A and B are shown apart, each in its own frame.
Chain A
Amino acid sequence: DAGVTQSPTHLIKTRGQQVTLRCSPKSGHDTVSWYQQALGQGPQFIFQYYEEEERQRGNFPDRFSGHQFPNYSSELNVNALLLGDSALYLCASSLALELRGYTFGSGTRLTVV
């Protein structure tokens, strides 16, 4: 079991562009959460998807959107990138009935220039 898989591992984008990050959950998990981790900070919750719907959302602007597919994989989209969006984006999967038993991916390092 590969656990949680995220792609790409690194990404460089220009300010104003759009980006899509991808996540495949651990086998058997059906819930995906996304976190943003800025340098020197702890992860911050962006949103959570279950049954292909956004169930919870953190304090992030609408430029951040997501999607969950029938196979439970997920995408995080960020529009109109800002320099401040540069961060490590972490995907975490879990089983709905045990939402606190997160398994984290290695993350996607996004750099906005």
Chain B
Amino acid sequence: AQRVTQPEKLLSVFKGAPVELKCNYSYSGSPELFWYVQYSRQRLQLLLRHISRESIKGFTADLNKGETSFHLKKPFAQEEDSAMYYCALSGPGGSTLGRLYFGRGTQLTVWP
């Protein structure tokens, strides 16, 4: 069964410190992984997707199929990074095409 696990409900770091938000998944095929972010009083928005292999706002995430992980990292956290982060996966095709499975989210707080 498809499942996304975000073990940390809350994560706090100081400005300038590295940050890593953990995400583990279970999926029988080859999934597509995403990170979504929700800033205070804003709607859920896509941060990055693993197939793009891009860096958005200094964040990167590498898909590790061996460890079934897709951790989100940033070397130097900024106060504006404070938000709720959701890891999500989608099946590459078939009956799960386009359907997203979300983790419960990690609330990141960056202190000044």
Interface residues of A (CB under 8 A from B): 3-4, 31, 33, 35, 40-45, 48, 56, 58, 90, 94, 99-102, 104-107
Per-residue interface assignment for chain B, residues 40 to 84, with 1 indicating a CB less than 8 Å from any chain A CB and 0 otherwise: 000111100100000000000000000000000000000000000
- Chain B residues 68-112 with CB under 8 Å of chain A are 86, 88, 90, 95-105
Smallest Cβ distance from B69 to chain A, in angstroms? 17
The distance from the CB of A59 to the nearest CB of chain B, in whole angstroms, is 11
Given A104-B44, A105-B43, A106-B43, A99 and B104 touching (CB < 8 A)?
no
Whole-angstrom distance between the Cβ of B66 and the nearest chain A Cβ:
23
In the complex, the chain B residue whose C-beta lies closest to that of A38 is B104
Distance (whole angstroms) from the CB of A47 to the closest CB of chain B: 9
Q: Given the known inter-chain contacts A101-B46, A104-B44, A107-B43, please indicate yes or no for A42 contacting B98, CB distance below 8 A.
A: no
| Residue of B whose beta carbon sits closest to that of A107 | B43
- Minimal beta-carbon separation of B68 from chain A (angstroms): 17
**Bound CA span A25–B30, Å:** 29
B21 at the interface (CB under 8 A from A): no
The smallest beta-carbon distance between A32 and chain B, in angstroms, is 11
What chain A residues lie within 8 Å of B20 (beta carbons)?
none
A-B contact pairs, 18 of them (CB 8 A): A33-B98, A35-B102, A41-B105, A42-B4, A42-B6, A42-B103, A45-B99, A45-B101, A99-B90, A99-B97, A100-B32, A100-B49, A100-B90, A100-B98, A100-B100, A104-B43, A105-B43, A107-B43
